[in-house]
Amino acid sequence: MKAELVAFGELEIEGKRYHRDVVIEGGEIRKRDKGPSKALKGRARHTPLSAAEQIPWGGKRLIIGTGARGQLPIAREIGEEAERRGIAIEAMPTLEACRQLADLDPADVYAILHVTC
């Protein structure tokens, strides 16, 4: 799957531009709904990724792009839930996460990509 962090706050995936965080589930792309995690924002400068969101648990691994500078906080329960499900979490800055996606068939992509911080 071709994905690129083209600028701070902007992704290009399969030729389409996105100006928000995205969730990719089996190749299907949707906007990340941060709403369920907003209550945890007080603990960090940014709205963390938490298990309260609709996490794409369908694959054997979940790639998390943690932003341009790698600052997206990930709540501990994400790791706990992934372990319970037998899913590997690969968290890295979004630029690197996009490179990871390049070698994958879109149907095999389960990812959350943060576009800022």
Whether the Cβ atoms of residue 44 and residue 70 lie closer than 8 Å to each other: no
Q: What is the DSSP letter of 14?
A: T
Mean pLDDT by 10 residues, the chain (117 residues): 95 96 97 90 79 96 96 95 98 97 94 95
Type and span of the H or E element at 62: strand 61-65
Other C-beta atoms within 10 Å of 45: how many? 10
Whether the Cβ atoms of residue 24 and residue 105 lie closer than 8 Å to each other: no
Say what the pLDDT of residue 66 is. 97
- Which residues form the domain of 104? 3-113
Say what the pLDDT of residue 43 is. 57
Whether the Cβ atoms of residue 64 and residue 49 lie closer than 8 Å to each other: yes
- Bridge-based pairing of strands 22-25 and 3-7 is unpaired
* Angle ∠(87,92,95) on CA atoms, nearest 5: 125
- Count: domains in the chain: 1
Average pLDDT score over the chain: 94
d(CA 3, CA 45): 27
Say what the pLDDT of residue 44 is. 59
